[in-house]
Structure 1
Amino acid sequence: MNSLEIKRQNGNVPKSLPGQDHVSGMIFYVNEADIPEDFKAEAVQAVSTIDAAEALGITSDATSWAARVMHYQLSEVFRINNGITLYVGIFTKPAAHTFAELATVQNYADGAIRQFGIWDGLTELTKENVTLLQSQADALDLNNAPVSVGYAPSLKGGYQALPTDIAGAAPRVSVIIAQPGGTNDTGALLFAEATNKTTKNAVSCIGVWLGHVSAAAVHESISWVKKFPSGISLPAFSDGTLVRSVDKAWLEKLDTARYLFLTPIVGVSGSYWNDSHNMDAAISDYNAIELVRTMDKACRGIRTYLTPELGGNVYIDANTGKLQSYTVAYLETVANKALEDMEKAGELSGYEAKIDPEQDVLSTSTVEVVIKNVPVGVIRKMKVKIGYVKSL
């Protein structure tokens, strides 16, 4: 009989997401011999599908262990967020880091990158490297290209040797110590291969982290259980230790030290981020990834609306020397526009821009604007009281 058979296939056509909150960068530090040829010619490439990565030599069957790790991480990014816009930079692991490569990749993307994932699985974690990452991120912020950074180093000394004094002054840096532990998980198999060679290099879950952060609205915590499952059934630390085998006191110690790892939740399948920590002080206004990302978006938006006003005129009340009320009202409206958009999108609970009309603009040519934002809260704990009563 005559027949026509049609088979639907996945063409890996990248999805289009609104805005630029999903624009991301991924940096890999590897040995020079493990850099694919295309990246030796051009260290940074736009890679927004796994097909594009494979065409550039990052494949799952590469002879290089590092190339297979890179393929695994990128596969995880696209599994979590197939609408991401991603720039990948592959660089030779230096004897001593400066992390100047963040600026290299950000410049390639014309400042559009909002978050970086960094795989540094050949390098053991140090406080100095976290400080250097924060310095590079601060420099990008000064150039109006602020970013949040997820850093995945090696845990060669084991999770019990992790320093607990790193947090305090690095709000733009989160340290990821998570890794898959299931025997059939690609990441766990890659780690077993490295361990068999006695290198103990970390595989990590930096791809999951970057997928989640890029998919989250700026005000959302990646620890939101309902929205951000990891897809990893058996989580481990980057030294291969299964989380389920670690005493609760140690988990609390690592959480207090503000590391990010995946943990199972009783009664819920899968695993989830312990929180959305960064390496800032626990009492800081910017102690979570979503607080930094929300403020970054507000600053970018305010800059977009207020910059065209530079060089413009303001009018002064000839009798009092104060700014005219209509000038104040206009500039406050302009400053509020980006925040109004964010509140409508649910990214802020409230906002206010105020301009003091008493300012002596004729002498200083400077208008000072004071902006206050009310953030969106995150449920980190719930307390439920339950008991029997004779009647309701």
Structure 2
Amino acid sequence: MSFKGATINKLNGGLGRTSETDRVICLIGGMTLVGDLAYNTAEELLDISTVEDLGITASTDDTNAELMHYHLSEMFRLAPESTFYLIPVDKTKSIADLVADDALKAAIRSIDGINVLGISGLSTLVADGLTEAIALQGLVSAFESEHLLIDGIFVEGVGGALPIAVADYPDLRSITAPNISYVIAQDPAVAALNAAYAKRAAIGTVLGSVAVRKVHEDIGSVDIEVKPRTRRGEENYSLSSELLGYWLSAALSDGTGFKTLSEAEQTSLTSKGWMYVGSFAEYPGFYLNGCPTAVDKSSDYAYFNNNCIWNKAARIIRKTLIPRVRSKVPTDPTTGQLKSTWVSGAEQSVMNALDPMESAGNIDGKDVYINPVQAISETTPLRVKAQVVVGKIVHEFDVDLGLTDKI
């Protein structure tokens, strides 16, 4: 008998990080450089300790009158099992500057699988929302032409010098920028820490809320399907933290308190496509109002989660079909049509590839069809029709309740 006592074997995988993930999220942050950080260079962040090792701390937030540590800490607070990325940018830049910056675009491309972006720390005034959203949609379209699909860009909507009347908020639903969302949610406890924070919005809270949810879940859902280990057993997934003093109240980024908004004003902001935080009467916690995008509500892509579902399906289908590129497609010698066995095999391969989305609850069904009557050539692609069934999101309930002396 020896004196080994106990042998400890090192395991891997317990943090839940995998080589493939539905969420690859990067914060593009206007900030003062600290440590070895460089503008337009992506940094991988495994946890809040990684952030602080880079020199981004609560102290540097205070010194530089910035909220970079706050945003990143919120991301990890709400999604502690996620990996995030940060690309620092010059905070004097405008959205137009970022869209035109080739170095920034190269940094975004350098992040394998990137699909969600947040922008904070710039002077992205609410009043400029329409113009900036259209410019950012152009960036999304440019990446799409490279087959880099961005599910959404969340922009910090900075409040003006004075509180903004709800009637004066631009109507984001009046434009066509279906991958862009503007965030005007503010935590008053954070805004009170420094005068420079008074008009800022909580982008980190939104990105953390995205990371912790599956692709089909609304960011404003009161509960989530899979909670982090530290919050299992809770009946909801509120943004609020009594321990940290976060989200015990809420405001818009111009300082207007949520509690001062009438129901009509709340509805107006949501109808115009703005993202803010609020609470339900006589129910604990604060929650995002949803995930609207800057496009008409009649669009299939009027909500961020629908973009996520479409993009995930598109990535899967593309990956499945690429191995068949420049391969022989047999034809029936009697009809000249594509051979039925090849057609059914190709259809089934795509159907099988989409199975995990159905198993995960991202979609409720799927269909793939290839018309065998096609003439294909180097300049004529083979047409495939694919459809996925998207589930419904309940936004509110209307209950008929009455009293009776018998059932």
Deviation at 1:63, TM superposition (A): 6.7
Corresponding residue for residue 137 of structure 1: 140
Unaligned runs of 5+ in 1: 1-12
Residue 229 of structure 1 is aligned with which of 235, 238, 246? 238
Unaligned runs of 5+ in 2: 1-12, 225-236, 241-246
Residue 273 of structure 2 is aligned with which of 255, 258, 261? 258
User: Contact 1:336–1:353 (CA<8 Å) still a contact in 2?
Assistant: yes
Corresponding residue for residue 171 of structure 2: 165
Corresponding residue for residue 319 of structure 1: 334
> 1:62 is paired with a residue of what secondary structure?
helix
Deviation at 1:76, TM superposition (A): 0.4
Percent identity of the aligned residues?
A: 25
Residue 174 of structure 1 is aligned with which of 181, 189, 197? 181
Residue 347 of structure 1 is aligned with which of 349, 362, 383? 362
1:142-163 deviation digits (Å, cap 9, x = unpaired): 2222121111131114332753
Shift of the 155–306 alpha-carbon distance from structure 1 to 2, 3 Å rule, reads same
Is 149-158 or 361-370 further displaced after alignment? 361-370
Distance, in Å, in 2 between the alignment partners of 1:90 and 1:364 is: 42
Deviation at 1:35, TM superposition (A): 2.1
2:320 equivalent to 1:305: yes
TM-score by length of 2: 0.84
Deviation at 1:267, TM superposition (A): 2.0
Shift of the 284–261 alpha-carbon distance from structure 1 to 2, 3 Å rule, reads same
Distance, in Å, in 2 between the alignment partners of 1:288 and 1:76 is: 23
User: Contact 1:258–1:277 (CA<8 Å) still a contact in 2?
Assistant: yes
User: Contact 1:87–1:105 (CA<8 Å) still a contact in 2?
Assistant: no
User: Contact 2:28–2:119 (CA<8 Å) still a contact in 1?
Assistant: yes
Residue 46 of structure 2 is aligned with which of 41, 48, 57? 48
Distance, in Å, in 2 between the alignment partners of 1:309 and 1:363 is: 14
Corresponding residue for residue 9 of structure 1: none
Deviation at 1:193, TM superposition (A): 2.5
Question: Runs of at least 4 residues of structure 1 off by over 4 A?
Answer: 63-68, 362-365
Residue 104 of structure 1 is aligned with which of 93, 103, 106? 106
Distance, in Å, in 2 between the alignment partners of 1:317 and 1:123 is: 59
Distance, in Å, in 2 between the alignment partners of 1:250 and 1:115 is: 29
Corresponding residue for residue 216 of structure 1: 213
Deviation at 1:385, TM superposition (A): 1.0
Within a 5 Å distance, the mapping from 1:184-199 to structure 2 comes to 185=189, 187-190=190-193, 192-194=194-196
1:243-284 deviation digits (Å, cap 9, x = unpaired): 101222222211110100000111211111112211121110
Distance, in Å, in 1 between the alignment partners of 2:95 and 2:381 is: 43
| Cα RMSD for the two superposed structures | 2.2
2:390 equivalent to 1:366: no
Distance, in Å, in 2 between the alignment partners of 1:268 and 1:163 is: 28
Residue type matched to 1:179 in 2? Q
Distance, in Å, in 1 between the alignment partners of 2:29 and 2:85 is: 11
> 2:98 is paired with a residue of what secondary structure?
coil
Shift of the 136–35 alpha-carbon distance from structure 1 to 2, 3 Å rule, reads same
Residue type matched to 1:298 in 2? A
Question: Going by fraction, where is strand more abundant, 1 or 2?
Answer: 1
Q: How many residues align?
A: 366
Deviation at 1:364, TM superposition (A): 5.9
Corresponding residue for residue 157 of structure 2: 153
Corresponding residue for residue 4 of structure 2: none
